[in-house]
Amino acid sequence: MKLLFSVLFSEHMLKRLERITLVASIAGFLLHLALVALFNTGILGALDPSLFSNPISAIYTPFSIILIYEIYVLIYFLPRSFTTSLLKQFEIIALILIRRIFGDISKINFELATIQDKEVLQLFIDLLSVLILLTIILFYTRVNARLSQLKPTSSDEVFRQYKKQLAAALVVIIFIISAVHLTDYLYVVFAGDHLFAGMENDLNAIFYKDFFTVLILSDVLVLLLSYGLTKENFKLLRNTGFVISTVLIRISFSTQGLYNSVFIITGALFGLAILKIYYEFVRVDNAHYISQAPSE
């Protein structure tokens, strides 16, 4: 596992995947546009209309590729910082919402649409959700930056090694999940039916539902390890709060419409509140330590 981690999570691999993601996103976007053109000319009429009838839907492909890279970055930061890992979760959800907005737009016939239409209402809900979530991310980033100045990241090498092994195992599991969902998705596109039973039809839920389930389990494992290796009770409470935040986000993939956005925003707000409370605790604790320190 140690060798696997060093190969998968090196600085060189991170930059290399960033370049690959850029090229693959552009290529995927152009390919999707080509398929849209072929669908509208009737050459590939058997394709799913919801994905290939409108050129705007082509934005789904590059965003999906970028999301895969962001998931890698999330796992990359898992052994380094629990707080940064949660921040990456929020950024992934924001990208999913932005991708969904383009999907909402492609479903609306603006010549006939009214404000009461379900698709129009969903578009406004998603737009508002993105704005709120990005604001939460902004405040979370600020609090995290202040916290890092007060309390540098723990250098507990034993705990870090456990998290590195977990991250390496997580990549393997995510790769298997990705392969299964990609195979099923392509089968649906070209055959019109699911290859594997129990798969989702919603493009915004496939893969991510399973991914966040695995992420919750890995977060719980990290939490249990921290109970055995960390003596800071308030830090343990913080980590528990972060797991709850991830659970709320995972629940959002099992809901639709307004409830989906409510669970996403609630999960992000809960994570921000936990981090802010932890920051205030560390700030007060540091002030108390300084006041108790003997003067020279």
In terms of Cβ atoms closer than 10 Å to its own Cβ (0-12, 13-18, 19+), residue 15 is: exposed
**Predicted confidence band at 244 (pLDDT cuts at 50, 70, 90)?**
very high
pLDDT number for residue 296: 47
Contact, 271 vs 90, CB < 8 A?
Answer: yes
In terms of Cβ atoms closer than 10 Å to its own Cβ (0-12, 13-18, 19+), residue 117 is: middle
Mean pLDDT (whole number) for 141-145: 93
pLDDT at 230 over 60: yes
The mean pLDDT of the chain is 80
Contact, 164 vs 1, CB < 8 A?
Answer: yes
pLDDT at 154 over 60: no
Q: Which two tokens stand for residue 190?
A: 């070209």
DSSP 39: H
Q: Which two tokens stand for residue 252?
A: 């959002």
- Of 207, 214, 254, 248, the C-alpha closest to 90 is 248
Share of the chain above pLDDT 90, in %: 19
Q: Which two tokens stand for residue 152?
A: 């540098």
At 166-186, the pLDDT tens digits run 777 887 887 787 777 777 766
pLDDT at 249 over 80: yes
What's this model's pTM, rounded to 2 decimal places?
0.79
> Under 8 Å CB-to-CB from 91, ≥6 apart: which residues?
70, 137
pLDDT at 228 over 60: yes
Angle at 90 between CA 88 and CA 96, to 5 degrees: 105
Mean pLDDT (whole number) for 110-128: 83
* 56 membership: H or E segment, kind and range: none
pLDDT number for residue 1: 59
**Predicted confidence band at 291 (pLDDT cuts at 50, 70, 90)?**
low
**Predicted confidence band at 205 (pLDDT cuts at 50, 70, 90)?**
low
Contact, 63 vs 95, CB < 8 A?
Answer: yes
Higher pLDDT, 102 or 16: 16
Lowest mean pLDDT among 26-35, 75-84, 120-129: 75-84
257-292 helix and 82-107 helix, angle to the nearest 10 degrees: 160
Q: Which two tokens stand for residue 102?
A: 């383009």
pLDDT number for residue 166: 78
Higher pLDDT, 88 or 186: 88
**Predicted confidence band at 159 (pLDDT cuts at 50, 70, 90)?**
low
Contact, 77 vs 88, CB < 8 A?
Answer: yes
Angle at 140 between CA 134 and CA 142, to 5 degrees: 110
Distance CA 144, CA 147 (A): 5
**Predicted confidence band at 201 (pLDDT cuts at 50, 70, 90)?**
low
Share of the chain above pLDDT 70, in %: 81
Contact, 207 vs 181, CB < 8 A?
Answer: yes
pLDDT number for residue 37: 87
**Predicted confidence band at 48 (pLDDT cuts at 50, 70, 90)?**
low
Contact, 184 vs 176, CB < 8 A?
Answer: no
Instruction: Break the chain into its structural domains and give their ranges.
Output: 2-286
pLDDT at 294 over 60: no
